[in-house]
Amino acid sequence: MKKVAIHNLGCKVNSYEAESMEQLLINAGYRIVPFDENILADIYIINTCSVTNIADRKSRQMLHKAKKMNPDAIIVAAGCYVQADSKKAEQDEAVDIILGNNCKINIVEAIEQYEKDHCANKNIIDLSVRQPYEELEIEQVNEHTRAYIKIQDGCNQFCSYCIIPYTRGRIRSRELPDILNEVKKLAAKGYKEIVLTGIHLTSYGVDNNKGSFLEVVSKINEIDGIERIRLGSLEPRVITEEFVQAISSMKKVCPHFHLSLQSGCDTVLKRMNRKYNTEEYLAGCNLLRKYYVNPAITTDVIVGFPGETPEEFEQTKQFLGKVHFYEMHVFKYSRRKGTVADRMENQIDEKVKTKRSAELLVLEKEMSAEYRKSLVGSRQSVLLEEVISYNNQSYASGYTTNYVRVLIPCDDTSQHKINKVVEVECEKITEDNMYIIGKVD
């Protein structure tokens, strides 16, 4: 039984695809082992990322690390990095097999072919033309309580900073019956929470007219055993009165919404080729707060985009405070060869990006603590996930529906309740403002 180690880089879609490849390999008789220097594997699979130049570099580093761990092993480079630059991957002596996006379903055949002829092989599909959805699936996941379900691939947005439409191709939607069958299998195995994910999630169905994103959510809402549906990153323009009315009527949908913003300044948004302005974005947030009590709204922000003036940055900072997010993921703009933004004038100095990033991270920390404090004194449903040690005390740890982590002293609950939803009275916030301490109601 040959041993395979898989290392995943990048987004939740990549994680799903790595777990799918793992399942295919297990079904074919391979043994999965940890990606660990102390455990030699016969085959190493690096599921790469290419969202930034830094991600490219990390992908190359992990490929070389795998070869160093076992020089005699077969090294597979899969995913976005090789899709973006297959020639560079071909020239890399550490790489034996190249497996682009929409080819990961062929992982077993690619390995068997290499073992037969020992010739480097390349599996790359041209994603600039329309391709079918790659029918990967999972039967179980490494997490014990929640499962990420990929329902869509590709993006047609072409934001000026983003390489993803080139590495992932055009929008491709998964067949609804396949989604529902996978969710039912996971529910039967005890998973309580489903997280819907995709490259441009809310474009589901645009390519095949066989359903809509709302229909997917509605059908999963009817599946017995699933107690929570968490939505992945949403396009801000999808947040209409009709949309929010519909999802607020589905009781399993968690009041946790990630609306990617990128900038709080309209002139920067225009240069980014985003398809909304700050007024429309704020209107969407207000709609969510109209239909939900204290929903958690999270976002992504890029600082130091080409040409971002001090005044534009200040507009962004003021807008972020106005929206008042629960959490923000702050990124310094990273030039990406092949994108429109890479060719723009007035690239921002790295020191300026670092300073602006630091300012927003301080704001993020303040807003996040304020949101957690707003839950103190309330009763929340918590899905218990694991027992952890915090400040030398054991706690059962889990998340509320709005994705706030709650710790419950183990004398107040017990490990046999893991993967159970319990009602918790939120008593206080920890000194570092990171968690809520609660007790089972």
Residue 415 has pLDDT above 60, yes or no: no
Question: What is the per-residue pLDDT across 324-378, written as a single tens digit (0 to 9) for each?
Answer: 999 999 999 998 888 999 999 999 999 999 999 999 999 999 999 999 999 999 9
pLDDT exceeds cutoff 60 at 86:
yes
Could you tell me which residues come within 8 angstroms of residue 72 by beta carbon, excluding any fewer than 6 positions away?
none
Task: Report whether 263 contacts 221 (CB < 8 A).
Answer: no
> What are the DSSP E strand ranges found in 206-362?
228-231, 256-258, 296-303, 327-332
Question: What pairs with residue 47 in β-bridges?
Answer: 8, 78
pLDDT in tens, 186-233: 999 999 999 999 999 999 999 877 789 999 999 999 999 999 999 999
| Tokens 């695809």 belong to residue | 17
What is the share, in percent, of the chain residues with pLDDT greater than 70? 98
Instruction: Identify the structural domains of the chain with CATH numbers, from first to last.
Output: 3-123 (3.40.50.12160), 146-374 (3.80.30.20), 379-440 (2.40.50)
Answer whether 340's CB lies under 8 Å from 273's CB: yes
H or E segment and range at residue 33: strand 31-33
- Between 83 and 53, whose confidence is greater? 83
Name the amino acid, one letter, at 17. E
DSSP for 154-165, written as a single string: ------TT--HH
| Sign, CA torsion 406/141/195/216 | negative
**Distance (Å, whole) CA 383 – CA 401:** 8
Do residues 303 and 360 touch, judged by C-beta distance below 8 A?
yes
Kindly state the average pLDDT of the residues 32-44. Answer: 95
In the chain, pLDDT over 90 holds for what percent of residues? 83
Could you report the per-residue pLDDT of 338-347, keeping only the tens digit for each?
Answer: 899 999 999 9
For the chain, what is the mean pLDDT? 93
3-class secondary-structure state, position 198: strand
